[in-house]
Structure 1
Amino acid sequence: MQAGTGNHAKLATSLACNRIPTVPYETSLAPTPYWQPQPLPTASVDAPTLDWLFDQGSLTRRLTQLSADQFCVTPLCEGWQTLRDDECQALGLAPGSEGWVREVYLLGQDQPWVFARSVAARSALEEDGLDLESLGSRSLGELLFCDRGFTRQAIEICRYPSAWLPPDVACDRLWARRSRFDRGALSVLVAETFLPALWHAANIRQEDC
């Protein structure tokens, strides 16, 4: 059920006054990667890696299980900003459109295992009434996954540009995936980059980094 007009106004005010800093680094420095729905035959991606990248289940639950319940979400930054070109294209927006951006670490056993970046168009978000600002350390992916009002679209993967990562985990050629969650006019694009500490914990060897 959509929120009323009063809730929309409250949400707009709430999101405009975010308490977490906006993205502190420039994400437009790197060339836009090619997001592909399936790995190329020449990519030689091993089966265990593919199992993580294309798993249709809840990533939060899988990380919780792998970490023996030592899982948590650490917010890094969030706020209104100009979305990247690849994000605008995935959301069906004009280049340079503004949206809400939320970046977090998904931690297992106190180590950053996944860097997640979620974005949504400003107009659609305010109309829908989804309050992203109040999530705090809760998992947005789990919220979207559990809400039957959202439909998850196809998973796409790429080698994520290091310039798009926080400096403390920046590394070339890390595998990432993204998928779009749709509810009416609202689309939330969630991208998840799998960090070296995750592959180490899962005993999956990665050639790069």
Structure 2
Amino acid sequence: MLSSMACQPPCSYTVSHHTTASCPPSWSDHLETANGPCQDWLFDTGSLTRRLIRLSADAFSVAPLSEGWATLRDDECLALDLAPGTTGWVREVYLSGHGRPWVFARSVAGQQALKQDGFPLAALGSRSLGELLFVNGGFSRGRIEVCRYPTQWLPASQTGDTLLARRSRFDRDALGILVTEVFLPEFWAMLPRSPEAP
């Protein structure tokens, strides 16, 4: 459920995805079953946005799906060192190439730390958060963790129990932003020299 607190700026979308999964994922810093191309994309520490821009020959876009104040999932609270049930800003988007969704991205931050820092997570619109994190200065990136993402946490238009996902935490002073990126089947299908889905 969205908090009754007004968003700044006003919300244009509604966070509506399930907060629980029948079998919560086990996030890990390795995934032995992933092939070479998968490992390369999952554990690349550079900007995913920049890499997708290059891959798409500049035909890259960000399509917002939902955003607003909501109760963070338990695994997100744990990753951000927040108490269970903490309210935070939740932003979900598609990172697309040539108008086709390649990556589903979910970014969250605790309400108190976000307001104290003043980072404009609520005002990004169709701009890329990842690019801003890498150029804004002052953020340090934590380790990359990977998992097979639960179907219940995907947008309704996406299905599959084996979609590969990664997440990492970006910190600046007291602010922590957890960024999760799920690589969709269409991304792997178009990847040069790796037409097979993982």
Taking structure 1 as the reference length, the TM-score comes to: 0.88
Contact 1:20 1:76 in 2 (8 A): no
Q: Of the candidates 132, 143, 161, which is equivalent to residue 172 of structure 1?
A: 161
Asked if residue 59 in structure 1 is aligned to residue 83 in structure 2, the reply is no
Q: Unaligned 5+ residue runs, structure 2? A: none
In structure 2, C-alpha distance between the alignment counterparts of 1:30 and 1:142, rounded to whole Å: 33
Pairing of 1:54-203 with structure 2 (within 5 A): 54-203=43-192
**Runs ≥4 in structure 1, deviation > 3 angstroms?**
none
Q: Of the candidates 18, 25, 29, which is equivalent to residue 37 of structure 1?
A: 29
SS in 2 for 1:34: coil
**Identity of counterpart residues, as a percentage?**
56
| C-alpha RMSD over aligned residues | 1.4
Q: Unaligned 5+ residue runs, structure 1? A: 1-11
- The count of residues paired between Structure 1 and Structure 2 equals 192
Q: Map Cα deviations across residues 58-105 of structure 1 (whole Å, 9 max, x no partner).
A: 101111111111000000110000000000000001111110000000
Indicate the structure (1 or 2) with the bigger Cα radius of gyration.
1
- The code of the aligned residue for 1:206 comes to A
In structure 2, C-alpha distance between the alignment counterparts of 1:109 and 1:79, rounded to whole Å: 27
SS in 2 for 1:123: helix
In structure 2, C-alpha distance between the alignment counterparts of 1:116 and 1:108, rounded to whole Å: 14
